[in-house]
Amino acid sequence: MREDVEKVLAKIRPALQADGGDVELVEVTEDGRVKVKLTGACRGCPMSQMTLKMGIENKLKQELPSVKVVEAV
């Protein structure tokens, strides 16, 4: 499943990088938790939680139904 998550993140990454940020995959657990690290401009951005939930989490859940939640670490 980690490879599948990486493929979806690769689709999201250009939009984040356009704003000076990025996302790194930290861990994918067996129960469907995806742990990511927001970097660059995303790390300190006040909108990072919205980016995480409305952008990254929604896209991952849409393409990979086994993903239950995305958490920033």
pLDDT at 56: 95
State the Cα–Cα distance between residues 56 and 1, nearest whole angstrom: 16
Could you read off the pLDDT of 13-50 as tens digits, one per residue?
999 999 899 999 999 999 999 999 999 988 888 888 88
pLDDT at 43: 84
- Domains of the chain, with CATH numbers? 2-72 (3.30.300.130)
pLDDT at 11: 95
Residue 4 pLDDT exceeds 90: yes
pTM listed for this prediction:
0.90
The first and second tokens of residue 59, run together, are 């896209």
> Residue range 46-55: average pLDDT?
89
Residue 28, CA distances (Å) to 20, 25, 41 in order: 25, 8, 24
